[in-house]
Structure 1
Amino acid sequence: MKKVLIVETNITRYAGTHDATGLWLGESTEFAKELQKVGISVDYVSPKGGFVPLDPRSMKYVDESIMEFYETPDFKNRALSKTLNPSEVNPEDYFAIYYAGGHGVMWDFPDNKELQSIAMAIYQQNGYVTSVCHGIAGLLNIKDDSNNYLISGKTITGFTLSEEIIAGKKSVVPFFNKEEAEKRGAKFKQKRAYKDFAVQDGHLITGQNPFSARSVANLLIKEVK
């Protein structure tokens, strides 16, 4: 069976500040673990390849399941130390791409042309483009061969303005997900802040916040099993 490609950030801090950010750990581990349970393999890629920093705030929300996966040599090596560079990825090897979140992605996901090309290639071969939380940033600027936004006319979700306010990050983020998604013609749905919520529209599957990673994974699993 083909694999799933998990995309993670290389960004270590909020732009213009000394505040650390990076990958939200559970959004990668929980998603990958759900796939692993049913025998689906994953690879990890980042915009620059190599090292992926962890958002220190994400470590406050780990449970035993997350910690066990985090501590495996495979995850520490392939997901945090030696992620693939986009140039090393062959889209034909994957049936889905998944953009994990953490605030860092808001700076290195939206304008990465290589990742956009990979995602569009997977989508055009009848694959799935998925994300959770701030990972929606990776979907915003993907365009098809006719120069139309992939998310135009599609129902999607992602981290909300109310969640940014609760997180205390409204003043430091470069944009708001709902606003940017709607500029591109998407239909943005949301539920209560920090409650598990995922939505599927065809071959697009998106989750609202860190607590939605497993739901995104399970929607994808239903499609391919």
Structure 2
Amino acid sequence: MTKILVVLTNTTRYHGTTDPTGLWLGEATEFVDEVTKAGFDVDYVSPKGGFVPLDPRSMKYVAESDMKIYESSDFQNRALMNSMNPSQIDSKEYAAIYYTGGHGVMWDFPNNHELQKITMDIYNQGGYVTSVCHGIAGLLNVKTAKGDYLIKGKEITGFTTSEEILANKRKVVPFLNQKVASDHGAIFRKKRAYKSYAVQDGQLITGQNPFSARAVGKMLVHQLKQSK
């Protein structure tokens, strides 16, 4: 159980508009860089499987390490073109699940019951549930066997309301991650907008914004190495 499951979006546009969105590239590549150089393997899954679009705005913020992963045949084939469908996933193979962001996830992460089951299976077997930025949307509605929200009473973070306003996307997103997280009983933590910040509470590790992916990856690697 040394693999990490990376969750990506299939959403190509902000619903009701022609404005393209998708995966925020660095939120996948920076995390993958951290965990793979530490010796962990990754698989890629998306709600529908198959093609994963990139948010074109994310390409403005790439570094050389991002481009090396983006240009690799492995990432292009297994992540962007042929991501796995949730039905193909055996949760027992994974030590952690990681929800990437990009605004697209706001539509296809929150109510995907297959991904929610995978998340709880990994959590219940002692694995880690992690996310960055808008990826927290994948955790908002996950419930335990008792019917409680997984994030209830837990310290978490994600893309904040103030960051959504600064991104000029407040009016086009279907909900606000910070508000729903608080409504579902989470203890929402945040720091300065667009600065790296990650929070751990037990088996949950979450990052605030696109610049927090490496921090999440480093926290997860530390925990996985300790548990070996």
TM-score range, shorter chain: over 0.9
1:151-198: CA deviation from partner (whole Å, max 9, x where unpaired): 000000000111111111011011111100011100000000000000
- Runs of 4+ aligned residues of structure 1 deviating over 3 Å after TM superposition are none
Letter in 1 for 2:202: G
Q: How far apart in 2 are the matches of 1:221 and 1:39?
A: 9
Question: What is the 5 A alignment of 1:37-116?
Answer: 37-116=37-116
Q: How far apart in 2 are the matches of 1:50 and 1:159?
A: 26
Gaps of 5+ in 1: none
Using the aligned pairs only, state the percent identity.
66
Question: What is the 5 A alignment of 1:180-219?
Answer: 180-219=180-219
Letter in 2 for 1:181: A
Q: How far apart in 2 are the matches of 1:141 and 1:2?
A: 26
Letter in 2 for 1:55: D
Let me know the Cα RMSD of the aligned residues: 0.5
Normalised by the size of structure 1, how large is the TM-score? Answer: 0.99
Q: Once the 2 structures are TM-superposed, how far is the Cα of residue 205 of structure 1 from its aligned partner?
A: 0.1
Q: Once the 2 structures are TM-superposed, how far is the Cα of residue 2 of structure 1 from its aligned partner?
A: 2.0
Q: Once the 2 structures are TM-superposed, how far is the Cα of residue 63 of structure 1 from its aligned partner?
A: 1.0
Q: Once the 2 structures are TM-superposed, how far is the Cα of residue 17 of structure 1 from its aligned partner?
A: 0.3
Q: Once the 2 structures are TM-superposed, how far is the Cα of residue 61 of structure 1 from its aligned partner?
A: 0.5
3-state SS of 1:22 partner: coil
Normalised by the size of structure 2, how large is the TM-score? Answer: 0.98
3-state SS of 2:134 partner: helix
3-state SS of 2:98 partner: strand
Q: How far apart in 2 are the matches of 1:2 and 1:117?
A: 19
Q: Once the 2 structures are TM-superposed, how far is the Cα of residue 127 of structure 1 from its aligned partner?
A: 0.3
1:22-81: CA deviation from partner (whole Å, max 9, x where unpaired): 000000000011011111000000000000000000001011111111000000000100
Gaps of 5+ in 2: none
Letter in 2 for 1:180: V
Is 16-25 or 159-168 further displaced after alignment? 159-168
